[in-house]
Amino acid sequence: MISATEADWKRENPIRGRYEPGKKLLETIRHYQRLTTKNGLISKMIRPIVVLHYRFWSAISGADIPLNSKIGGGLLIPHPNGIVIHPDAVIGPNCLIFQQVTIGAGSKTGYPIIEGHVDIGAGAKILGGIHIGAHARIGANAVVINDIPSNATAVGIPAIVR
Global pTM?
Answer: 0.91
The low-confidence residues of the chain, meaning pLDDT below 50, are none
List Cα–Cα distances, 56 to 23, 63, 71, 116, 142, in angstroms.
13, 11, 20, 28, 30
* Spatial CB neighbours of 19, under 8 Å, sequence gap ≥ 6: none
In a domain, 2, yes or no: no
Residue span of the structural domain in which 156 resides: 9-161
Residue 1 lies in a domain: no
What is the predicted pLDDT for the residue at 4? 82
Question: Residue 138 — φ and ψ, nearest 5°?
Answer: -110, 125
- Total count of domains within the chain: 1
Q: Is residue 74 part of a domain?
A: yes
The pLDDT score that the predictor gives to residue 2 is 81
| Domain of residue 147, CATH code | 2.160.10.10
Query: Is 3 within the bounds of a domain?
Result: no
In a domain, residue 4? The reply is no
- Residues whose CB falls within 8 Å of the CB of residue 31, separated by 6 or more in sequence, listed in order: 50, 53
Q: pLDDT at position 107, please? A: 87
